[in-house]
Amino acid sequence: MNIPSFLTFLLIFSLFSCNNTKDNTKNNKDSLKNLANNGSKDSIKISTDTIKVVIGEDTAKTFYNNSGDSLLVEETEFRIRFPFPPIREEDKEDKSVEYIISDEKGTQNYALIYKDFSDEEIGKDPSKFLDKARLGMIGKFRGHKEINLNAEIDQSGFKGYAIRAGNKAKGYFVYRIFLIKNRLYQIFIVDMARYPTERETDKFIGTFEIKTK
C-alpha cells in the first residue's frame, strides 16, 4: 500500500469512526471504573481517582484520572494525553493501531494513529517516505487559503511535519506526522466548524512524547 493511500484510508476511517464515539465517551469512563471495582486481573486500582488498565500483552497502558481533565495513554515507545478516554483499535495484520475519540458534543475529533513499516517499505531515504505521507495530507487542500501551516519540525531528534489546513467540506485540521525509526505516527485534531485553538492543540498534540530513542 503506498503512503498517500494509507494516509487517506486512515483519515477517512478515523473520521467515520469518530461519528460513533460521542456516546462512547461516558461508557469508556464507566468501563474503566468497572474494571477496577470488579478486581479484574487486567486492572489495578491505584487510588480512588486513578485507574490503571493494561491492554493486550502489556504493551499499551492507560491511566484515567477522574479528578483531572486528561487521560494518559502510554505504550512502550510513547505517551500522550487525551482530553477524553479514547477507543483503541488494533490491526495486527496491518501492524497499525489507532486511538480515537470525539468530545462530549461530538464536534471535535482527536486521534493518534501509528503503523509499523519494514525497511523495504521505507526504502533507502526515510525523508522521501515521510514526505509522501505529508503530501498525502496536504494534497486534500488547495493553496494558501486552505493550508495555513506546512512546516518541518523535530520530535526527539526525529523529523516530522506540522500541518494546519482545512475547509468547510473536509473540516479544519491541526495535524502532526512523524517517522520515528520504522513507525509512522499521525496525531491530529479535526473540527468541522473551526480550527482547534492553540490551547486545545497544546493539551493534546503538545503532550506527545517519545520514550525511547
Write the pLDDT tens digit of every residue in 89-142.
888 888 899 998 888 788 899 999 999 999 999 999 999 999 998 888 888 787
What is the residue extent of each domain of the chain? 3-210
Fill in the DSSP letter of residue 213. Answer: -
At residue 109, the pLDDT reads 93
- Inter-residue contact 16 to 89 (CB < 8 Å): no
At residue 88, the pLDDT reads 84
Furthest-apart CA pair in the chain: how many Å?
54
What global pTM score does this model have? 0.74
- pLDDT tens for residues 146-189? 888 888 998 888 899 999 999 888 889 999 999 999 999 999 99
CA distance 75 to 6: 23
Q: Give the position of cell 496536504.
A: 138
At residue 189, the pLDDT reads 95
- pLDDT tens for residues 53-92? 444 444 445 455 444 567 788 888 888 988 887 888 888 8
- Inter-residue contact 115 to 95 (CB < 8 Å): yes
Between residues 52 and 175, the one the model is more confident about: 175
